[in-house]
A and B are shown apart, each in its own frame.
Chain A
Amino acid sequence: MAVRIRETWLGYLRGAALAGILGLASAYAVFHILYPMATFPPEGQPSLLLLSLVLTMPALLAGLASTDIVPVIFQSFLGSVVGYVLSVALLLSPLALGLYSLAPDAAPGFVVHYAFVYLAAALFANFLVGLVGLAIRNYFLAKIPRPAPWAVQRK
């Protein structure tokens, strides 16, 4: 029972950690789309190559590190929420210097207005690419020889 509870909590923790990483990737992508010339690396227009890498690589790795399809769904959705919150925080980061580049109450709407499509794209990328990662994981797991039943009996 204790082992099961521990595994459940570890599962949530793993999902939250993966959602955090996916959220960070989504937030950076949204920030880069909103201000490509004022992010690192600065670009005249959002770099498709950079965005593809940022959105697919963490999602693929998160899929590889996931155990089932349900956690993939969970971390994709949570990752998008985290991404939205983080991207608003990034937009408001000059507040730390006492500067208003954007009114704090306007920033959430600004992100939704200009980047909702990209947030939705990030959600689908996290989910679909995560599924690909999970499929790759399962493919490799299937190749690992399982211990024979009699080995358990002998124990």
Chain B
Amino acid sequence: MKGPGRLSREWIRDMRVAWLFLLAATVVLSGVTAASVWVYGGVAQAHALTSMGLGYEVTFTGTNATGVLGDAGTVTGTLRITVVNPSPRVLDFDSVSYKAWIEDLPAEAGLTNLGRTDQALVNETGTHLFYMAFYGSLEVSPVPIPAGGQSTLPLALNLTRVSGPAAFAALQNITAYAAAVRGSADGIPWTVWVQLGLPIEGVPTPDFAAPTYQFEVGRVVISGGVDLGG
């Protein structure tokens, strides 16, 4: 007959307790590993699948009848940035970098001494020169983009003679040229580029001594439009 003493001696001899604990450790390790794969997969999805749509509109106020921008006028660029987030992680609008160029018609016509630098855009219709009228980056108060959903961030940018004298003078020159040559300054082509920083909610910020790649994990960076440089 097996007494409790003999049973416990057998358990010690065969280390069955150790095997039981090992089984429990395996279950726990498998659980945290599976959870890690799920978390990592969600972050990878956020990086790989997030996309953005970019809508923009530029309006001139304070113009004359032919659309020439006056000294008291304002140029307003309105961006509508829509981010589609199919991942299971919630993202936040956090920072926006933007550049907007207007086609520099006088420079394309070969006028010199304009005192500005343009970027070239080559496409199927030829080489076009663009002047960067708006650029900058700003932090926005976090706007959540739900998991499996989408969110739109409207952004209004204003340019006046006071806020950006050089860019404003260039726009005056370009609109005046268009009015003189085409009869109207309406419909001058613009091109826009936007880059977004979208932190992933629930992903901690790495320690300052962490390897560089870790800083990219918790933040989705996507861009839309064509960056002409400058």
Interface on A for B, CB 8 Å cutoff?
18, 21, 24-25, 27-28, 31-32, 35-45, 54, 57-58, 61-62, 64-65, 90, 93-94, 96-97, 99-101, 114, 133, 137, 140-141, 144
Of all chain B residues, the one with the shortest Cβ separation from A145 is B9
Closest 8 A-B residue pairs measured CB to CB?
A: A40-B35, A64-B18, A94-B44, A45-B207, A39-B36, A44-B204, A101-B44, A65-B18
Q: Which residues, 171 to 215 on B, are CB-close (under 8 Å) to A?
A: 202-207, 210-211, 214
Of all chain B residues, the one with the shortest Cβ separation from A42 is B204
Interface residues of chain A: helix, strand, loop or mixed (majority): helix
Chain A positions within 8 Å of B13 at CB level: 141, 144
Tell me the smallest distance from the CB of B30 to a CB of chain A, in Å.
7
Question: Which listed residue (A25, A40, A41, A97) contacts B44, Cβ 8 A?
Answer: A97
Answer whether residue B156 sits at the interface, using C-beta atoms and an 8 A cutoff: no
Q: Is the CB of A39 within 8 A of B40?
A: yes
Q: Is the CB of B29 within 8 A of A40?
A: no
* Cα–Cα distance between A94 and B88 once the two chains are bound (Å): 13
Tell me the smallest distance from the CB of B219 to a CB of chain A, in Å.
10
Q: Is the CB of A100 within 8 A of B48?
A: yes
Q: Which residues, 1 to 31 on B, are CB-close (under 8 Å) to A?
A: 9, 12-13, 15, 17-19, 21-22, 25-26, 29-30
Q: Is the CB of B204 within 8 A of A35?
A: no
* Cα–Cα distance between A18 and B202 once the two chains are bound (Å): 34
Of all chain A residues, the one with the shortest Cβ separation from B18 is A64
Q: Is the CB of B40 within 8 A of A38?
A: yes
* Cα–Cα distance between A134 and B109 once the two chains are bound (Å): 86
Tell me the smallest distance from the CB of A65 to a CB of chain B, in Å.
4
- Can you report 8 A-B residue pairs in the complex whose CB atoms are below 8 A from each other? A37-B204, A39-B39, A44-B204, A58-B22, A64-B15, A97-B41, A114-B211, A144-B13
* Cα–Cα distance between A96 and B38 once the two chains are bound (Å): 11
With A35-B40, A35-B217 as known contacts, state yes or no: A21 contacts B204, CB within 8 Å. no
Chain A positions within 8 Å of B205 at CB level: 37, 44
Question: Which listed residue (A39, A61, A93, A114) contacts B21, Cβ 8 A?
Answer: A61
Chain A positions within 8 Å of B47 at CB level: 101
Q: Is the CB of B12 within 8 A of A21?
A: no
With A45-B206, A61-B21, A99-B45 as known contacts, state yes or no: A38 contacts B39, CB within 8 Å. yes
With A61-B18, A94-B41, A99-B44 as known contacts, state yes or no: A31 contacts B33, CB within 8 Å. yes
Chain B positions within 8 Å of A42 at CB level: 39, 202-204
Chain B positions within 8 Å of A64 at CB level: 15, 17-18
Chain B positions within 8 Å of A28 at CB level: 29, 32-33, 36
Of all chain B residues, the one with the shortest Cβ separation from A65 is B18
Q: Is the CB of B45 within 8 A of A94?
A: yes
Point out which of A31, A36, A37, A94 has the most chain B C-beta atoms below 10 A from its C-beta.
A37
Chain A positions within 8 Å of B207 at CB level: 44-45
Chain B positions within 8 Å of A93 at CB level: 37, 40-41
Q: Is the CB of A90 within 8 A of B206?
A: no
Q: Is the CB of A61 within 8 A of B35?
A: no
* Cα–Cα distance between A99 and B49 once the two chains are bound (Å): 9
Question: Which listed residue (B29, B39, B48, B210) contacts A21, Cβ 8 A?
Answer: B29
Point out which of B36, B37, B44 has the most chain A C-beta atoms below 10 A from its C-beta.
B36
